């Protein structure tokens, strides 16, 4: 009888992350659903917990290969890749890694806003190309401090972004399911109204079906020619076709984007846009935070396997 209570699923795991999980629990690794399907019945039956990383969909068909699975521990706060409903009906718990990444994601959102407004990408190239040395100055750009920002989704990460921007003396507007206790900040019950009131629109929504194209073509149009869109959530939360068109036609001023539909195969039209700062979904990508996420994932797995309370359950 095999005794490998942990299945590590996802090619996204680094060697170090896999080693740490394997050092804590006897484990078997699979890059994908198909790799699980070819494991012996005995091996599949011994799996009680699954460590998941990545954005490939994980649904009931995979869960059904593992008859004794009790936990799916996600590496990441967003768990839109996991079909939680399928897990719940099978009595499988799901956990994620909230909070430990808020600072990094909020930092990157603000960093992209400044980089876009102050034309930092071109500024860097300007110095390196020697243009500055020959006396040519970078064209003047745009002041960010003191302007108006709209946060779409005032959850934990949205809140951390807003707190940072308040220190930049920005006028904070937001849209959320309900009005929050945030004196001085302006609530909007819909995204179009929010977009029409602000210079910067920062998307901090959860992913998944319910928020698909939540920032619509109409909202992008409402932002207007001085508008800058920043997205650190999921590519799916905005109408990407409308966003590309708006950036190409300069009907908005620019964007700072860490997430895309179909990433990492980013729509190639983005490559030509000099009004957009593009990042490779690296919001949580610091050594410190990725370590904290890995530790929280492992702590949930250990809790499940030792029969104690899960730290961060989502169902």
Interacting residues toward ligand 8YV by CB under 6 A = 12, 53-54, 75-78, 101, 281, 283-284
46 vs 231, which CB is nearer to ligand 8YV?
231
Q: Specify the residue, 101 or 242, whose C-beta has the smaller distance to ligand 8YV.
A: 101
Q: What is the DSSP string of 74-99?
A: ESSS--TTB-HHHHHHTT-EEE---S
Whether 234 is a known active-site residue: answer: yes
Name the catalytic one among 18, 218, 263, 291: 263
Sheet holding 6-9, edge to edge: 27-30, 6-9, 49-52, 71-74, 93-95
The CA distance from 298 to 290, in Å, is 12
- Please answer whether residues 314 and 84 qualify as being in contact, where contact means their C-beta atoms are separated by less than 8 angstroms: yes
Rounded least distance, CB 31 to ligand 8YV, Å: 14
Residue 263 annotated to the active site = yes
Catalytic residue among 234, 240, 290, 304: 234
Q: CA torsion sign, 40 to 45 to 51 to 56?
A: positive
297: phi then psi, degrees, rounded to nearest 5: -60, -45
Of the residues 33, 90, 118, 281, only one is catalytic, namely 281
User: Residue 124 and residue 129: Cα distance in Å, rounded?
Assistant: 9
Q: What's the CA gap between 300 and 92, in Å, rounded?
A: 13
| Least separation in angstroms between CB 136 and ligand 8YV | 39
Shortest approach of ligand 8YV to residue 289 CB, angstroms? 8
Task: Please state, in angstroms and as integers, the Cα–Cα distance from residue 13 to each residue in 21, 39, 140, 198, following that order.
Answer: 10, 19, 43, 39
- Asked if residue 216 lies in contact with residue 189, where contact means CB atoms within 8 angstroms, the answer is no
Indicate the residue among 24 and 292 with the shorter CB distance to ligand 8YV. Answer: 292
Residue among 13 and 199 whose Cβ is closer to ligand 8YV: 13
The Cα 152–Cα 176 span in angstroms is 7
Q: Which is nearer to ligand 8YV, 101 or 219 (CB)?
A: 101
For residue 2, the minimal CB distance to ligand 8YV (Å) is: 28
Residue number with the smallest Cβ distance to ligand 8YV: 76
Residues recognised as catalytic: 234, 263, 281
């Amino acid at each position: 009888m095999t005794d490998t209570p942990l299945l590590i699923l996802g090619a996204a795991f680094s060697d170090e992350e896999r080693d740490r999980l394997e050092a804590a629990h006897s484990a078997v690794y699979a890059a994908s659903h198909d790799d699980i399907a070819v494991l012996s019945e005995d091996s599949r039956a011994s799996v009680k917990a699954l460590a998941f990383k990545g954005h490939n969909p994980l649904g009931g068909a995979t869960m059904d290969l593992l008859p004794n699975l009790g936990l799916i521990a996600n590496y990441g706060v967003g768990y839109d890749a996991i079909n939680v409903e399928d897990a719940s009906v099978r009595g499988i718990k799901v956990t994620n890694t909230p909070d430990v990444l808020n600072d990094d994601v909020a930092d990157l959102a603000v960093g992209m806003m400044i980089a876009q407004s102050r034309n930092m990408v071109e500024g860097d190239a300007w110095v390196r190309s020697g243009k500055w040395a020959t006396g040519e100055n970078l064209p003047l750009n745009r002041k960010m401090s003191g302007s108006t920002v709209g946060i779409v989704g005032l959850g934990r990460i949205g809140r951390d972004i807003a707190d940072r921007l308040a220190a930049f003396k920005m006028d904070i507007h937001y849209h959320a399911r309900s009005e929050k206790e945030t004196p001085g900040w302006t609530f909007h019950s819909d995204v179009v109204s929010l977009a029409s009131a602000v210079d910067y629109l920062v998307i901090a929504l959860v992913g998944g079906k319910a928020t698909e194209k939540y920032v619509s073509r109409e909202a992008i149009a409402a932002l207007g020619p001085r508008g800058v869109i920043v997205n650190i959530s999921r590519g799916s939360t905005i109408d990407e076709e409308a966003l590309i068109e708006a950036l190409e036609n300069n009907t908005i001023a620019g964007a700072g984007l860490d997430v895309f539909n179909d990433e990492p195969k980013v729509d190639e039209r983005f490559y030509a846009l000099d009004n957009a700062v593009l990042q490779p979904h690296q919001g949580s990508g610091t050594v410190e935070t990725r370590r904290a996420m890995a530790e929280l994932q492992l702590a949930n797995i250990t809790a499940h396997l030792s029969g104690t309370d899960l730290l961060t359950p989502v169902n």
